[in-house]
Amino acid sequence: MTRSVGILGTGSYVPERVLTNHDLEKMVDTSDEWIVTRTGIRERRIADEHTASSDLAYEAAVRALKKSGISAEELDLILVATVTPDMFFPSTACLLQDRLGAKKAAAFDLSAACPGFIYGLATGAQFIASGLYRYVLVIGVETLSKITDWKDRNTCVLFGDGAGAAVLGPVEDGAGFLSFVLGADGSGKDHLYIPAGGSRKPATCETVEANEHTLRMNGREVFKFAVRVMNSATDEAIEKAGITREDIDLLVPHQANLRIIDAAVEKLGLSSEKVVVNLDRYGNMSSASIPVALDEAWEEGRIHGGDHLLFVAFGAGLTWGATVLKWSESIAPSQAKK
């Protein structure tokens, strides 16, 4: 017999520094109009040179634990989804475990790019549903500014830094996660990747000089893939959950491109009031996009007990993920804003 698993609390954190489109106009051949028209992004947050992913993750984790009423000492597992870890090893999750004082928690990182948070939710939920663990902290965090080529006008306008967290635990029967859809297509690996730095092409003076430690993207192919998989993954997640499109109370999509989000919203037939969009302020934060948007939606009083939430994301790999969550009636609405 499995237990129902839901989100008990959320938290988020973004760096203070704001990089606007007008700032980028001074750095590369671009314009505010061009960026907004093609992406919907107006500004993004950038971590300073002394701030690592674990620093952002810690701030988001503290906030999520406070809202959930769960202490760090009660955590059984910490799972960090990121493609920008502090270092190859130890894992960012282990660094966070020590800083939080979560002494009994196991910890590991998960690499699935932009859908990483959904992959993390699916993984953490299974530990709780099986009875092995009770409380799991899942974090999506990125410092993409550290791996961005700031001379490439096609990619440097897209990305930002941030962290979002969720504490998972048992909830009443009928609530919690109703479905998960995870997928991958490795044949698209060359559409979004970093050429050097791994075992295939270790760091050398030549790779550094060639700037091969920053991300590369085939925007046209990623866009086509994203529109297609957003539709197929959402339909599959809704069907597996045993609900209809009309039952969706809030869509929390990956914040990559406003045109992609608009296409998904039109397909689902949702009103703008049922969609969370914050990419205009943060850009694409990869695995942090959905948890940050989710936390802001909760803080704004947009989530209530019994609501059906749909998360969907796509990213490098190529990978994708979607989940339907029925918000627990026992989780009180945020007191921050009404």
CA distance linking residue 45 with residue 63, whole number of Å: 19
Ramachandran area for residue 19 (φ above 0: left; ψ -120 to 50: alpha; else beta): beta
Residue 30 has pLDDT above 70, yes or no: yes
| Neighbour count for residue 228 (Cβ, 10 Å) | 13
Residue 232 has pLDDT above 80, yes or no: yes
Residue 1 has pLDDT above 90, yes or no: no
Q: What is the pLDDT of residues 94-138, one digit of tens each?
A: 999 999 999 999 999 999 999 999 999 999 999 999 999 999 999
Q: Read off the tokens for 309.
A: 């939430």
Q: Do domains 5-173 and 177-326 have the same CATH topology?
A: yes
Annotated active-site positions, please?
Answer: 114, 254, 284
Q: What is the pLDDT of residues 280-294, one digit of tens each?
A: 999 999 999 999 999
Q: Which residue has the higher pLDDT, 337 or 305?
A: 305
C-alpha separations of 303 from 4, 306, 308 in Å: 19, 9, 9
Q: Tell me the H-state helices in 203-270.
A: 205-209, 219-241, 258-268
For residue 26, the number of C-alpha atoms closer than 13 Å in the C-beta half-sphere is 4
Which numeric CATH code is attached to 5-173?
3.40.47.10
pLDDT, position 337: 40
| Neighbour count for residue 327 (Cβ, 10 Å) | 22
| Gap between the terminal Cα atoms of the chain | 38
Q: What is the pLDDT of residues 305-324, one digit of tens each?
A: 999 999 999 999 999 999 99
Report domain 177-326's class. alpha beta
Smallest CA-to-CA distance from 38 within 226, 297, 313, 280 is with: 280
Quote the pTM value: 0.96
pLDDT, position 334: 62
Q: Read off the tokens for 3.
A: 């237990």
Q: Where are the domains of the chain?
A: 5-173, 177-326
Q: Phi and psi dihedrals of 99, rounded to 5?
A: -65, -35
